[in-house]
A and B are shown apart, each in its own frame.
Chain A
Amino acid sequence: MQAVAPPHSSWQELLASPASGSHLLQMYGCQDFLAAGVAHFVVEGLRRGEAVLLSGTAIHLARIRAQLSRLDVDLDAAQRHGLVALGPVEEVLASLTANGALRKEDFSALIDQVLQATRARADWTGVRWWAEFANTVHAAGDEACALRIEEAAAEAADRHGISIFCSAQCDRFDARHYPALERLCRMHTHIIPANDYAGHRIAVNRAIAEEIGELRGSHLHALSNWKGLACELPSSQALLFWLREAMPERFEAVLARAKSYVRPATAAGA
């Protein structure tokens, strides 16, 4: 079990002040959670005097604007004070793939160019960027391209000392999603697996207790020997990744039970 910095107790705490160079991933199943997460990221960034960049699909940007309005955020004022919606990712992706497959170097150059322009506008206390380029190409069936984008984003977050927040639509209780989820998590520094951390913990604990039993002896040894994913994520989600590796024959049964125990409001992966 790799020593990883202790997880934050909630996604709100994590998104309020992400560390410089962090590359965050939100696993979402419903649009409300996506919008709530991004809106919180925006509000906290503006409150801290940071430039906030948004790169989403047209539909998601509209949802995020609506969520910000519900939070009484004055969007016009916000745009004068650093909030920049960079336009629908579909258009940006179309321009980057006009001559064939998206190249990582081109995507990195785009990030550098946007950040240079952003920093030239004002003396921000920091820069934070929410983007769903990878989610968009992944949803279109191109996982390899999504991973190239995530790799470029991780490098850019580190190179520029900014925080980049990504959202990925998935069902965290569907075993078929886990190979891709694991690859995705390994490219991020922090993972937000659920809206309701406490509910997720209770559901996973109950499922493991019923399917596996208590963690002692050989189970404890296996958990101690697990190398982990080298990213910060709540223990309840870390356990699911561990189970997939350590007890693949029980993994789907645990997921199914956990899904059935998740509180109704969060059952859709919110």
Chain B
Amino acid sequence: MPHMTDCGLPGVKDIPYGVHMCNFYRDGNELAAALVPYFAAGLRASERCIWITADPLPAAEAKARLAATGFDVEGAVASGALVVRDHDDWYAEAGALKGNQVVDLWLEEEQRALAAGYAGLRITGNVTFLRAEEWELFMEYESLVQRAFHGRRIVTLCTYDLGRCGAAEVLDVMRRHSCTLDRPDHGWQILTPA
């Protein structure tokens, strides 16, 4: 199986499986501009796609935005290739788990996806639900993900609301991801650490 896959974002070429990316957005439109092509590429690449949504792009709107690109979203959901769930719904099951248990849950999802014939697993989480007092704990989880997903057939894009991140939070996040996806004026770019 190939070690690279299409990121989906215009201007960003193939990315390796195991990559753990982050993106900072200002509003729902910017968030959709990252996640819709990201998941469209995952579906085209026969990856199992799991989209955990939260404001400002809840599940119903996320599906509508993806459908607007011409994808048969309901068909993909029915086949199991695509899962779009609101954070509240997902959190009811996974929220009580500790960081390493959530990581294990994703690794099990990867194994299930591969056993079912998918090329890999593509996931995202938008963390607008995080409270300030949960930040440190969540950064520990991101560190676990960064270590555990390396070399696995999982592609991850974590999205953060720039309006809720100060400069120190931006650096916290960048330090715990393989790279940052940014969209300055001239199109998407992938920023890798020096």
Contacts and interface: CB of A to CB of B under 8 A. Distances in A.
Nearest to B185: A217
Contacts of B170: 215, 220, 223
The SS class assigned to the A binding surface is: helix
Nearest to B177: A3
A225 B182 CA distance: 14
B168 A235 contact: yes
Contact of B180 (A6, A201, A204, A220): A220
Q: List 4 tightest A-B contacts by C-beta distance, closest first.
A: A205-B166, A224-B191, A217-B184, A235-B171
A2 B194 contact: yes
B194 A209 contact: no
A2 B189 CA distance: 19
A57 interface: no
Given A206-B166, A223-B171, A234-B168, 5 more contacts: A2-B194, A3-B175, A6-B140, A205-B167, A221-B184
Interface string B146-171: 00000000000000001000111111
Interface string B108-152: 000000000000000000000000000010011001000000000
A11 B139 CA distance: 17
24 contacts: A1-B174, A1-B175, A1-B194, A3-B175, A3-B193, A6-B139, A6-B175, A6-B176, A205-B168, A209-B166, A209-B167, A216-B24, A216-B162, A216-B184, A217-B182, A217-B184, A220-B191, A221-B191, A223-B171, A223-B174, A224-B180, A224-B194, A234-B168, A239-B167
Nearest to B167: A208
Contacts, number: 78
Contact of A227 (B136, B139, B175, B194): B194
A204 B168 CA distance: 8
B172 interface: yes
A236 interface: yes
A48 B86 CA distance: 46
B192 interface: yes
Contact residues on B (Cβ < 8 Å of other chain), bracket: 20 to 34
Nearest to B172: A235
Contacts of A113: none
Interface in A212-246: 212, 214-218, 220-221, 223-227, 234-236, 238-239
Contacts of B169: 205, 235
A9 interface: yes
Nearest to B162: A214
Given A224-B174, A224-B192, A9 B167 contact: no
Contacts of B139: 6
Given A221-B182, A224-B180, A238 B171 contact: yes
